[in-house]
Amino acid sequence: MSKKYDLIVSNPPFFENASKAAKKARTVARHTDFLSQTDLLQTAVQLLSDTGKLAVIYPVEQAKNFQTKARFLGLFCHKKLYVKPMPEIPTKRILMELSKNKLLVREDTLIIEAKQYLYTPEFIALIKDFYLKY
């Protein structure tokens, strides 16, 4: 039996049928040719403990497809964070946390900039330990 994990975090590749980068490593990191959503989900199902969680980030459209595939494979989304660059700009990314257990979905929104170059207090609180400027 393989080792089981309580948390798997992935910033998976999500480009499909798009122009490839000149460097193979960049293509592997960004395109689904080498890691499809289904591959990621099937591996996560095998490696997660019964209470384990899978955390991912996807663009909006890919997030919808990912959630559909996840449900089919027995993983259920219970947290979503919608990330918006600015209040008036639509959501660009969705952070999701999934597990083998069906739980109520908790949703929240993170706005990065209140206006251009003026970061929101919520975003600053999130990054302050990683950036010297804050």
Decide: 111 and 99 in contact? Cβ < 8 Å.
no
Answer whether 91's CB lies under 8 Å from 119's CB: no
Tell me, yes or no, whether 133 lies in a domain.
no
| In-domain check, residue 134 | no
**In this predicted model, what pLDDT tens digit does every residue of 4-24 receive, in sequence order?**
999 999 988 766 766 666 776
Domain range spanning residue 59? 5-127
Name the pLDDT band for 29 (thresholds 50, 70, 90).
Answer: low
Distance CA 112, CA 103 (A): 28
Task: Assign residue 70 the CATH number of its domain.
Answer: 3.40.50.150
pLDDT of residue 15: 66
